[in-house]
Chains A and B, each alone.
Chain A
Amino acid sequence: MSDPTTDRRATAIAHHLLHGGCLDPADDGDRALYEELMGNGPLYDRVAERLAGVGYALHQFFGHLGVRPERAVEGLGGNTLGLHAGHIRLLVWLWVQLVYRQIKAAARDEATEPLPGRAQSLFDFAEAPDDAPPEIAPSEVFAEFREIYSDAAIKQFLGALRKRRFIVQSRRSDPIVAGPALYVMVDPLRMEEYVVGLARRGTMALPSEPSGGTP
């Protein structure tokens, strides 16, 4: 039986998610909202129902929560966000550097069994090393993209991605960290498939075997 209070709350949260796209961990209100959703299963399900009713799916990935259009409605006209190929090239590159790297690290960790007797307490995570999210220096980005774009264009790309919360930088000289949109707005499965597809095509075009592995 539906609870009117939960329904109203779910509707308000769904509206907030549709408006912002994803929750910002740096925002206190969004952070409280995230904890509320994670700790309240019925509310989470109700929000997902609300979003599904208008063609969106609630996604969470690596501690970030947001919405993406359902596949059935993707072809009805996408929101380009004003991003052109230069932005996308940088976005995909950063996704590989910041998110995909984290995915692979987590997946590898999952595959290894914990050593017996290492666990001191149920929630004792103090010894967890290398858990900080990957980051990349702006100088590396400039060094990589300067072959194709001017510095001004790269700055504009970074500013656009920063504005749309794909990346997070306190100051322009600070290291670049993946923002909530880079985790949530990008479908990891299809992005990986796409990037691997690019690599595979590049490999097939080359006469020699790729150094990174076998497709």
Chain B
Amino acid sequence: MTTPGPTAADPHLADPSPAGSAPAGLAPGVRPEHIEEWDEARAILPIAPLMRSLFSSADPGDTLLKLVVLFTLAQTDGRFTKERIRALVRAIEPDRLDALVRSLYDGRWLELRARDNTYRLNPLGLFLLATLRAANFASQTPANLLVRAAEALHFGARVDGDGRTTGRLLGMLLAELETQAERAREVIASGRPRQLLRFSRREVRAQLDRVTEVLALLEQRLDTASTHFERIVRLHRAMQTILRAHEGLHRRLAEWSLRRLETTDAGYSLSALCDAVMSATDDELETGRARAVHWPRIAARVSTDQILDRHTTERRARAAARAPFVYAPPPEPTAAPIDVIADDPMSRLRQAIADAIRAIEPGESLRWGTIAPSLTDGFADAALHVALLARLHGQGRADVIRLEGMPLRIDMPSHLADLVRDLDGDAALRALEHAGVLDDLGPRGWHARITLTRLSDDR
């Protein structure tokens, strides 16, 4: 890169730091050669007149210190609090540094965000820095800032292949892109028609393509392990944000059909059109409504669940509406005596036996088989009543029980196993029946021949 050399006629171009002497404002013990950005700052001095309008002080030392601050900030990502600036720029006395920051802020080199009192470099300032560092002003075209920044980056990467310059320019480009991404979000959120039209005119897509081209060139030169890779990734993210915003805005503009509207404009003034509306008949207006004003109608605005829910709730509501509530005392509960005999099998058994033996004289007997049909028709219940009869038998004394005051003896045949030892099942049953051990009670099955004998009342 070639830059015009300084001339003694311009006070800005005079060397502010003769060898061995340091300008005022440096921290004690710090010499110019200790400051990394010193030479770069001095290299900018030949074009100081171009920046005179941006730098209020006539003191070149002040300009140098400001440039030191600006370069330091430009190399660092993010926003800056005053404390962070002091930490980054330790070569300058804190008080002096604060004054410089105030001056840079007043000169619009720094932008203050009131929300958190943090500074960031103005994109225009970044562009100037990038241009000062890597561009020849005479060859610049009056393109917009982004394209010029991209060109500066391209130029710097081409002529100055060291990673330091590339990284610095990448940082500047990133800061500019992030600013634009933030503003793109603002435009998409609250953009007015005129803003959007201007956005469209400036051909953001073409500008981003230029940046993409530069980035592709840089990526070819940088390996993935490069310290700049992360910055390139962030650049791509910022570009994606802008592209998405641009896509949405472009769609909005495309669908506005403003040109079509303009062509159909028949040249009437707004007042003439309003007068026409006021003088139109109601029929004409109804026709206009049908043609130009539409409101969506949803065919099905209720779900099955809603239908079922409303059906349930509305049925109750309708019933409640038809029959107003009138208090009526609840009916008195009916207290019927419990029929123990009907419900209790033992009671039924005792009743049936008592009825049966009441009909016979003392000393006479009857078989269980004559009583069982009045109690049950099936084997299971018959077996149950036999068991109950056995229990009744067990409650007596010396085989004698009393039912309703009538003494009664229950006899069962003894086991006659010898009778059936060599017989098959059916023959054995018949033999036992013949021997007076079993009785065939039909559907109630085979049961032991139980004899109930009424005893005399004196027993």
Measured CB to CB, the closest approach of chain B to A202, in angstroms, equals: 5
Measured CB to CB, the closest approach of chain B to A14, in angstroms, equals: 10
B residues 342-366 with Cβ under 8 Å of A?
Answer: none
- Docked CA distance A135–B418 (Å): 123
Q: A122-B144, A210-B272 are contacts. A187–B292 as well, Cβ < 8 Å?
A: yes
Residues of A near B204 (CB, < 8 A) are: 122
- Docked CA distance A69–B294 (Å): 7
Measured CB to CB, the closest approach of chain B to A195, in angstroms, equals: 5
Tell yes or no: A176 within 8 A of B by CB: no
Select one of A44, A119, A164 contacting B144, CB under 8 A.
A119
Tell yes or no: A40 within 8 A of B by CB: yes
Tell yes or no: B251 within 8 A of A by CB: yes
- Contact between B248 and A67 (Cβ–Cβ < 8 Å)? no
Tell yes or no: B258 within 8 A of A by CB: yes
Residues of A near B296 (CB, < 8 A) are: 17-18, 21, 56, 67-69, 79
Tell yes or no: A160 within 8 A of B by CB: no
Measured CB to CB, the closest approach of chain B to A37, in angstroms, equals: 7
Closest to A56 in B: B296
- Docked CA distance A109–B179 (Å): 26
Select one of A61, A89, A123 contacting B183, CB under 8 A.
A123
Q: Which of B146, B244, B262 has the most chain A CB within a 10 Å cutoff?
A: B262
Q: A21-B296, A79-B295, A122-B180 are contacts. A196–B266 as well, Cβ < 8 Å?
A: yes
Closest to B258 in A: A107
- Docked CA distance A201–B284 (Å): 11
Residues of A near B199 (CB, < 8 A) are: 123, 125
- Contact between B247 and A107 (Cβ–Cβ < 8 Å)? no
Select one of A60, A69, A148, A213 contacting B252, CB under 8 A.
A60
Measured CB to CB, the closest approach of chain B to A52, in angstroms, equals: 13
Q: Interface-forming stretch among B34-42, B46-54, B275-283?
A: B275-283
- Docked CA distance A194–B288 (Å): 7
- Contact between B144 and A39 (Cβ–Cβ < 8 Å)? no
- Docked CA distance A107–B187 (Å): 19
- Docked CA distance A210–B179 (Å): 51
Q: Scoring B residues 182 to 212 as 1 if CB is less than 8 Å from chain A, else 0, what string do you get?
A: 0111111101111111110110100100000
- Docked CA distance A79–B294 (Å): 7
Residues of B near A97 (CB, < 8 A) are: 270, 274
B interface list, Cβ under 8 A from A: 123-124, 142, 144-146, 179-180, 183-189, 191-199, 201-202, 204, 207, 244-245, 247-249, 251-252, 255-262, 264-280, 282-286, 288-299, 301
